[in-house]
A and B are shown apart, each in its own frame.
Chain A
Amino acid sequence: MRRWPNRLLRFYVAMMCLWLVAPIVIVVILAFSGDGYLRFPPTSLSLQWFARFFGNVQWQRALLSSLVIGAIACVVSTTIGFFAAYAFLRSEFRGKKLLLSLMLTPVIVPSIITAIAMYYLAGKLGLIGNFVWLGLCHAVIAMPIVLLILLSALHAVDPNLERAALGLGGSRVRVFCRVVLPLVLPGVMSAALFAFLASFDELLISLFLAGVHSQTLPVRIWNSLNLQVEPTIAAVSAFLIAVTTVILGAEAILRQRQAQRRRAPT
């Protein structure tokens, strides 16, 4: 009796998954096109657009900027976010939920407003085009993601383990480094991966703050889409998709390991 609706639901979900994945797959296929312009399906395959992407000095510089800015954002937001998440879980105070909601506002405030405000400040400070500053701005945007991931990772660590280690005479710092950190390391790593990704994919803040010299990959894609769509964009997009896929894969492995570690008898 319940078969028909179930089959219908399954068919519907399958179609929707196709709808979700198809655009991404099509861009990846286009990136390997041997044609002179963007046309799907491509009539021949080649690596010419990747060669253009990796061989062009401007794209190389954009890639380098993206990587450096992403690394700064990743290290800063993960470190600072880790301390904050730890303090958050291990202390009791009034207005905890309110404070958390305030710390998450960077994902809620429309990015155009954040970008303009940061642009205003950077302009006053003469920091437009400074990639360290841009990395720090990205760290602010990545912080909510880091916080949420680390809060759930730290939540799984039994505070009794810490108490036991403290009771056995370990110093606070030592217990932190030898007990807490190893236990949440997979969580820290996945937070770092997502923080990097958040910066690597960020467009609007980079668009306003990058100036001419620290343009990132998304900024260059944006410029190209607004002026004249060059097929190299497909290769750059495929590259960004590949980075996302690798990071998601790494995160899945980390999560699996953590699950195994929890299941293993100690």
Chain B
Amino acid sequence: MTVATLTAAARAAPRAPRDRTLLLMLPAGAMLVVMFLAPLVLFFVRTFTEFDGTAAEFIDQARDLLLSQAYLTALGTTNWISLIVTATVLLIGYPIAYYLTTATGIGVRIVVLSIVLPYFTSIIVRTFSWMVLLGEHGLVNNVLVASGLVNHPLPLMYNRLGVLIGMSYVLLPYMVLTLYAAMRAIDPSLLRAAASLGASGSYTFWRVYFPLSLPGVLSGALIVYILSIGFFITPALMGGQHDIMIAMLIDRALEVAVDWPSAALMSLTLLVVTLVLYTVYYRIADIRRLIGAR
């Protein structure tokens, strides 16, 4: 596919004369290079070159860090939390996106609004609201205790469960919007054809609709996973001492130990994984739908 697009572009290129419109891209490009790319490159290059010690010492230290108990635990925690969040959000989001493509009228508007409002609300505000709900004397525990379902307030926050609830809440809109965009592209006449050939509703869904929606599932899962592994705010506020994710470890290396080399090294590993996954996303998904834009 890429080869085809490349050759098509190559064929189209000579026809379009190099005109000056392209110059309008310069300010944006310059800004991105100076304020985004340069800081990243500088951060990594300078921290590694400013390291006082020999190269062998540096490699030793790097190996110690990347094999340390704290780093490996955080790595496991990060991946585990990200996987669970991705799966949860997919299971919750799929029926919502499906509903959005089938329903019409006021129902759609209400659903879209209830997805878009949290989506554009500050993450810190959304996390705060869950902290209020899940606290020891929060609404959820009050209802549970008052209804007699439990005798004592449940520990819903400052543990893994709190992180999972908070992150799923924050990331659900990304999944629904990605799935919705993919499902809208499914040709409804295919479903009608299946039905008219005598397929039952569930048969049509599982054998026709679901396979056609899989690219959307994959790109939604990828984007949620990519965002999950770099999450900081929600796990930092809602997690306990056993829920340290990589991003928090990076922050601690800097805030507590002022250890730039460690922070840079961990950042580099996280960045590489993120960019590799982004490349996969780039291959399979429409990049223009990246953040649910239309």
Please report A residues at the B interface, Cβ cutoff 8 Å: 1-2, 5, 9-10, 12-13, 16-17, 19-24, 26-27, 30, 38-40, 76, 79-81, 83-84, 86-88, 90-97, 100-114, 116-118, 120-121, 124, 136-137, 139-140, 143-145, 147-149, 151-152, 194, 197, 200-201, 203-204, 218, 221-222, 225-226, 229, 233-234, 237, 240-241, 244-245, 247-248
Contacts and interface: CB of A to CB of B under 8 A. Distances in A.
A240 B125 contact: yes
A107 B226 CA distance: 10
B46 A120 contact: yes
Contact of A20 (B16, B32, B172, B247): B172
A22 B138 CA distance: 14
Given A110-B271, A152-B294, 20 more contacts: A2-B201, A10-B107, A13-B95, A23-B133, A38-B132, A84-B27, A104-B290, A108-B290, A110-B270, A112-B230, A117-B43, A120-B42, A120-B43, A120-B46, A143-B31, A148-B290, A201-B121, A240-B125, A245-B117, A248-B120
Looking at chain B, what size class is its interface with the partner chain? 35 or more
B200 to A, nearest CB: 9
Contact of A110 (B92, B116, B247): B247
B13 interface: yes
Interface stretch (B18-26, B57-65, B150-158): B18-26
Given A12-B95, A108-B278, A237 B118 contact: no
A114 B39 CA distance: 8
Which secondary structure characterizes the binding site on chain A?
helix
A26 to B, nearest CB: 6
Contacts of B48: none
Nearest to A219: B124
Top 9 A-B pairs, shortest CB-CB distance? A110-B230, A84-B28, A201-B122, A23-B129, A87-B24, A92-B16, A17-B114, A148-B293, A117-B43
Contacts of A76: 31
Given A9-B95, A40-B138, A104-B290, A27 B128 contact: yes
With a 10 A CB-CB cut-off, give which of A24, A93, A101, A112 has the most chain B CB atoms. A112
A49 to B, nearest CB: 13
A104 B16 CA distance: 25
Contacts of A80: 27-28, 31
Interface stretch (B4-12, B68-76, B185-193, B212-220): B4-12
Contacts, number: 256
Given A120-B39, A144-B291, A90 B21 contact: yes
Given A20-B114, A81-B28, A110-B247, A117 B39 contact: yes
Given A201-B121, A240-B122, A91 B251 contact: no
Interface string B69-88: 00000000000000000000
A175 to B, nearest CB: 12
B21 A91 contact: yes
B282 interface: yes
Contact of B28 (A103, A107, A116): A103
B121 A24 contact: yes
A69 B17 CA distance: 40
B250 interface: yes
A23 B169 contact: yes
B104 to A, nearest CB: 13
A16 B92 contact: yes
A149 B237 CA distance: 32
Interface in B98-154: 98-99, 103, 107, 110-111, 114-118, 120-133, 137-139, 142
29 contacts: A2-B201, A9-B99, A10-B107, A13-B111, A20-B115, A23-B118, A23-B130, A24-B121, A26-B132, A26-B139, A27-B128, A27-B132, A86-B21, A87-B22, A87-B25, A92-B12, A102-B32, A104-B287, A105-B36, A110-B271, A112-B232, A116-B43, A120-B46, A140-B31, A144-B291, A203-B123, A226-B237, A241-B121, A247-B120
